[in-house]
Amino acid sequence: MFTKILIANRSEIACRIIQTCARLGVRTVAVHSDVDAGARHVSLADEAISLGGQTPAESYLKGDAIIAAATATGAQAIHPGYGFLSENPDFVDAVEASDLTFIGPSAKAIRAMGLKDAAKKLMEEAGVPVVPGYHGEAQDNLAAEAEKIGYPVLIKAVAGGGGKGMRIVAGPEMFEEALDSARSEALKAFGNDRVLIEKYVEKPRHIEVQVFGDGKTAVHLFERDCSLQRRHQKVIEEAPAPGMTPEMRDAMGQAAVRAAEAVGYAGAGTVEFIVDASDGLRTDRFYFMEMNTRLQVEHPVTEEITGVDLVEWQLQVASGQPLPVAQDELTITGHAFEARLYAEDVPAGFLPATGTLAHLAFSERARIDTGVRPGDEISPFYDPMIAKLTVHAGTRADALSKLERALSQTQIAGTVTNIAFLTALTRHEGFAAGDVDTGLIERDIETLSAQPVPCTRTQALAAVASLTAYDGALSGFTLWAPLRHEVVLHQPDAPSTAYVSPEGQGVFTVELESVTHQIAQTAEGWRVDGAKVSADVIQTPTGVSVFWGNAYHFDVPDPLARGADAGGGSDMTLAPMPGLVKTVSVKPGDTVAEGDRLAVLEAMKMEHTLRAARDGVIAEVTTQAGAQVKAGDLLVRLRGEDE
Ligand code: ADP
Ligand code: ADP
Ligand code: MG
C-alpha cells in the first residue's frame, strides 16, 4: 500500500478520497487554486501545494505542476478524482513517465473508451450490445444514415461528455439544423466536431453498472439507475434499479464485465447502458452507451448497498494488490438514493448560482459528501455542487422517505439551492412507484420547479426576524415597544408589507394584509399564535431564512431602509442596528426639513445616514460622535406639537 498520495482534485471528491486515506493511514497531499486556498479539502489533507490561478485551466488542469507537486512532496501516486484530468490519457502517460502511479486505468484503456464511436466499435467486437445507429468514420452522409436508422434519432459528439453536443431529432426536416448546433457545441466544448447518430430509444432508462478490474479480470458491483435527469444530466441516482430482475442484472453485469475485460481495465469504472423500458426490463433491450473510466459522482449508492469502500479498492489495486473479492462474494443489501445538491436558481432555468454559505446545516439522516463548510463560498469558477446526500434503508420506500426527510432537514442560507426541486422529486408519484425514465423530470418540470410559497405564519416569523436582524438581543427592544414597525418582505412573487409591534419579553404582534399573528421567541424556540413550532429562523447578512418544512428566503437589502421607515412620521430617530455614531449633524433648537441628515451611523462595515422623518425643530440629541449604540437606542428627538 502507498504511504502518501497526491489528490489532483478539489471539493467533495477530494474530501471523500482523503477520508479513506486517513482511515487507512495513507498520508495525503492536496493541491489547490488561489480561490480554494482555504477550502475544506486543503484543511483535511496532511499537506497542501498551491497551483495558483482561479479557473480550472489555471489550476486543476495543470498536469505538469501537479506532477511536480507530487514529486516535491514525496507522494508515490496521484488520485485524479472525477472530471479535470481523470480521463486524460496524456496525463496518465506523464504521471508514469515521472515514476509515479496513476490511481486509475491505463492510458491505453482510457484512449480505447475515450471516443464514443471507437468505443462502440470495440464493444460490438467484444459482443456487448450497442445502441443501433451509425458510428462510422465518414461525416458527409449523416442525414441519409439518420433516415436508415429511422427517426427519432440522437446526434452525439464522439468526444462528448456531461450531456454536451447532443441533440434529439424528431424528423428529417429538423436534421440539418440540429447537426449544425451539435457540431458547433462539440467543437467549442471538446475541440472535436465529429458526431455519431443513434436510434433514440423509447421510454429510455439510464442504467449503469459499476465495474472493478485488476488489469486482467473484472467484477461488477451491480447497477445504478440514473434515469432522473435534466438535460441529460443526473439529478437523483439509486441502487439497485427499480424493477430489476435477476436475469436482467446478470445479463447487464456480464456485458459490463466483458466491456471492462476487453480493454484490460484496472480500477473503478462505469459502463453506461441505455435501456428501452417500453415493455419492462428485457434482456434484449439494453445497449452500451459509453464507459466512464474513473470513479463516478454517484459511486456512494453502490458503496451503501454493497458495503464496499470503492476508494479503498482503488488504492489497493493501484498499489499492486489483487481484486479484494470474487464476484460471488458480492451481495446487495437494501436500497440507496443519492441527491445532488447544487447552488442553482431553479425558477430562473436552473442557472448556476454563487454566494457565501452564511448558514449550512445538514441532516443526520444522510451520508453527506461535501467540500464546503459554513461560511465557505460557492465561487463562479467551478461546478456549483454543495453536497451529495446519500441515504440507505432496507426497502426502496423507506430509503425514499429517508431522503425526503434528509432534504427537508437541510438548512442552507446565503445562496439559492435546488433543495425544493429535489424534495418535490422525492414526492413525485411516478418516481415513488419506480416508474422512471429519462423524460420524467421534463414532463413535470413546472410542478417540480415550483417554489414553495410561504404561508402567513412563515411571513410573520420572517418579519420579526428581519426587524431584529441587526440586534442579537431581543431584550434590547424594550425601547421600541411603543412603535409599530413597517417591514417589507422581499419574496419571489411580490414584496409584501408587515407591521410589527413589539409587546415586550420577546412577543410581537405582526399585522399582515389579511391576518394578524402573534409571534413569540422563547428559550425553547418560536411560538406562533401560542403554539410551539419547529421552525428555525436564521438571520444572514443579506436577509432572513425560515426553515419550516421547506426553506423560505427573504431578502433584507438594506436594514436602514426599514429603520428609516420604522414608525414613519415619528418624532424619535432610533439606531436601527448596533453601530458606531460617526457624526451628528444637528443640535437642539435646529430647524430641519424632512430628509435632512441628522446623523451618520457606521454598522456592518457601511455608513448609514439617518434622516429627519418630517419638518420640525430638534428637541434633544442623546448621542454624540464616537458613541457605540445598541439597536433601538434613541439618538435624536424632534420637538412635539405642544412643546
Ligand atoms: P455523456 O457522455 O454526455 O454522458 P451519454 O452517451 O452517456 O453522454 O448520454 C447521456 C444521456 O443521454 C443518457 O444518460 C441518456 O439519458 C441520454 N441518451 C443517450 N443515448 C440515448 C439514446 N440512444 N436514446 C435515448 N436517450 C439517450
Ligand atoms: P411538526 O412538523 O413537528 O408536527 P411544526 O411545528 O413544524 O411541527 O408544525 C406545526 C403545524 O404547522 C403543523 O400543523 C404543520 O403541518 C404546520 N406547518 C409545518 N410547516 C409549516 C409551514 N412552513 N408553514 C405553515 N405551516 C406549517
Ligand atoms: Mg454518460
pLDDT at 562: 41
pTM of the model: 0.84
Ligand closest in space to the Cα of 454: 2
Closest to 338 (Cα-Cα) out of 389, 297, 387: 389
Q: In this structure, are residues 205 and 225 in contact, taking their beta carbons and an 8 Å threshold? A: yes
Q: Which residues line ligand 1 (CB under 6 A)?
A: 131, 154, 156, 160-163, 198, 200-201, 204, 206, 229, 232, 272, 274, 289-290, 438
Q: How far is the CA of 289 from the centre of ligand 1 (A)?
A: 7
C-alpha cell at 73: 512532496
Q: How far is the CA of 204 from the centre of ligand 1 (A)?
A: 9
Choose which residue among 533, 536, 537 to substitute to test ligand 2 binding: the one with the highest number of ligand atoms within 8 A of its C-beta: 533
Active-site residue numbers? 294
Q: Which residues line ligand 2 (CB under 6 A)?
A: 455, 457-458, 533-534, 548-550
- B/e letters for 61-97, b = 16+ CB within 10 Å, e = fewer, are bbbebbbebbeebebbbbbbbebbbbbbbebbbbbee
pLDDT at 574: 80
Distant-in-sequence, close-in-space partners of 57: CB < 8 Å, separation ≥ 6: none
pLDDT at 531: 97
Cα dist from 445 to 329, 341, 426, whole Å: 42, 17, 14
> By alpha-carbon position, which residue is closest to atom 2 of ligand 2?
534
Dist. CA 316–CA 318, nearest whole Å: 6
Dist. CA 638–CA 360, nearest whole Å: 44
Ligand closest in space to the Cα of 115: 1
Domains of the chain: 4-103 (3.40.50.20), 132-199 (3.30.1490.20), 204-448 (3.30.470.20), 456-555 (no CATH), 572-638 (2.40.50.100)
Dist. CA 197–CA 139, nearest whole Å: 10
Dist. CA 277–CA 219, nearest whole Å: 25
Q: How far is the CA of 289 from the centre of ligand 3 (A)?
A: 7
> By alpha-carbon position, which residue is closest to atom 1 of ligand 1?
161
> By alpha-carbon position, which residue is closest to atom 17 of ligand 1?
232
Dist. CA 374–CA 356, nearest whole Å: 8
> By alpha-carbon position, which residue is closest to atom 10 of ligand 2?
533
Taking the CA of residue 546 as reference, the ligand 2 atom at the shortest distance is 23
pLDDT at 595: 81
Would you list the DSSP string of 99-134?
T-EESSS-HHHHHHHHSHHHHHHHHHHTT--B-SEE
- Main-chain phi, psi angles of 397, to 5 degrees: -60, -45
Choose which residue among 120, 153, 232, 297 to substitute to test ligand 1 binding: the one with the highest number of ligand atoms within 8 A of its C-beta: 232
Q: How far is the CA of 225 from the centre of ligand 1 (A)?
A: 13
Dist. CA 427–CA 268, nearest whole Å: 33
Q: How far is the CA of 261 from the centre of ligand 2 (A)?
A: 54
Q: Positive or negative CA dihedral for 466, 469, 471, 475?
A: positive
Dist. CA 254–CA 126, nearest whole Å: 12
> By alpha-carbon position, which residue is closest to atom 3 of ligand 2?
534
Residue recorded with cell 495543470: 62
Taking the CA of residue 229 as reference, the ligand 1 atom at the shortest distance is 16
Closest to 80 (Cα-Cα) out of 89, 46, 119: 89
Q: How far is the CA of 161 from the centre of ligand 3 (A)?
A: 6
In the chain, what are the helix, strand and coil shares in percent, each to the nearest 5?
Answer: 30, 35, 40
pLDDT at 522: 86
Q: In this structure, are residues 236 and 189 in contact, taking their beta carbons and an 8 Å threshold? A: no
pLDDT means per 10 residues, the chain with 643 residues, are 98 98 98 97 98 96 98 98 97 98 98 96 96 95 96 96 91 96 94 96 96 97 98 96 98 98 98 97 97 98 98 98 97 98 92 92 97 95 96 98 96 94 98 98 96 93 80 41 74 80 87 95 92 91 87 71 44 78 93 88 71 88 89 82 70
Cα dist from 606 to 579, 582, 597, 632, whole Å: 10, 11, 16, 18
